[in-house]
Chain A
Amino acid sequence: GAGVSQSPSNKVTEKGKDVELRCDPISGHTALYWYRQSLGQGLEFLIYFQGNSAPDKSGLPSDRFSAERTGGSVSTLTIQRTQQEDSAVYLCASSLAFSLSYEQYFGPGTRLTVT
């Protein structure tokens, strides 16, 4: 079956512009996770959704970052007024349910470059 998909695969934007990154989880997966992977750094956990709800937003780097999920499926991560330090690969993962027992399946990522 289809895996997790993300779009765009690459995004180059000018500093100060807003960007939207999209994640399509595996069909039927209720839990969705966003991560950021900066050059030379480990994956940074940003936010997760249980259905359409994101109970913990404390992992978002700043208030310029927001995420939403509608219909228990597609999620968008929005970065407003982008800065050069936002340049990274943004990865999305989904799992069958919110329980910690379930494996996460990752998408290919969106490479964001802020010039």
Chain B
Amino acid sequence: KQEVTQIPAALSVPEGENLVLNCSFTDSAIYNLQWFRQDPGKGLTSLLLIQSSQREQTSGRLNASLDKSSGRSTLYIAASQPGDSATYLCAVRLTSGGYQKVTFGIGTKLQVIP
């Protein structure tokens, strides 16, 4: 059974700092990995989607890397801003028994202090 772990569970940084969020998964036979942010009381917003054949994706101040063989992904946030405060979730997708499966981590709660 696929398990997804996110470290740290919570992180508090001063504004302007660069930071790294970690995601690890136990079954490396994933199809892709997606990073999301979730604001309190709201749904998920997709940030970056990395296909299994890719090693990284970039969008603005965000960069996500994927090392499929070691079961790890990192989300790098440059020059953090208070508006980045949210919970960040990673999710891996694969097929199992011919069916699509999606497994999420519990998330990293980020607070950027002005």
A residues with a Cβ closer than 8 A to B are 4, 33, 35, 40-45, 48, 55-56, 58, 91, 93, 98, 100-101, 103-109
Q: A11 → chain B, closest Cβ, in Å? A: 15
Knowing A42-B107, A103-B34 touch, does A4 contact B99 (C-beta < 8 A)? no
B residues with a Cβ closer than 8 A to A are 4, 31-32, 34, 36, 42-46, 49, 51, 89, 91, 93-95, 97, 99-107
- 8 A-B residue pairs with Cβ-Cβ distance under 8 Å, sorted by A, are A100-B94, A101-B32, A103-B46, A105-B46, A106-B43, A106-B46, A107-B43, A108-B43
CB < 8 Å A-B pair total:
57
Please measure, in the bound complex, the distance between the C-alpha atom of A100 and the C-alpha atom of B33, giving whole angstroms.
10
Contact indicator A108/B100 (Cβ below 8 Å): no
Please measure, in the bound complex, the distance between the C-alpha atom of A31 and the C-alpha atom of B13, giving whole angstroms.
38
Chain A contact residues: helix, strand, loop or mixed: loop
Please measure, in the bound complex, the distance between the C-alpha atom of A45 and the C-alpha atom of B91, giving whole angstroms.
11
Chain A residues, Cβ within 8 Å of B49: 103
Q: A100 → chain B, closest Cβ, in Å? A: 4
Q: Which residue of A lies closest to B104 (CB)?
A: A43
Contact indicator B4/A42 (Cβ below 8 Å): yes
Please measure, in the bound complex, the distance between the C-alpha atom of A41 and the C-alpha atom of B36, giving whole angstroms.
16
Contact indicator A106/B100 (Cβ below 8 Å): no
Contact indicator A100/B45 (Cβ below 8 Å): no
Please measure, in the bound complex, the distance between the C-alpha atom of A48 and the C-alpha atom of B95, giving whole angstroms.
13
Contact indicator B99/A56 (Cβ below 8 Å): yes
Kindly name the residue among B36, B51, B95, B105 whose own CB sees the greatest number of chain A CB atoms within 10 A: B36
Contact indicator B102/A109 (Cβ below 8 Å): no
Chain A residues, Cβ within 8 Å of B103: 42, 45
Please measure, in the bound complex, the distance between the C-alpha atom of A33 and the C-alpha atom of B102, giving whole angstroms.
10
Knowing A42-B104, A42-B105, A43-B91 touch, does A101 contact B44 (C-beta < 8 A)? no
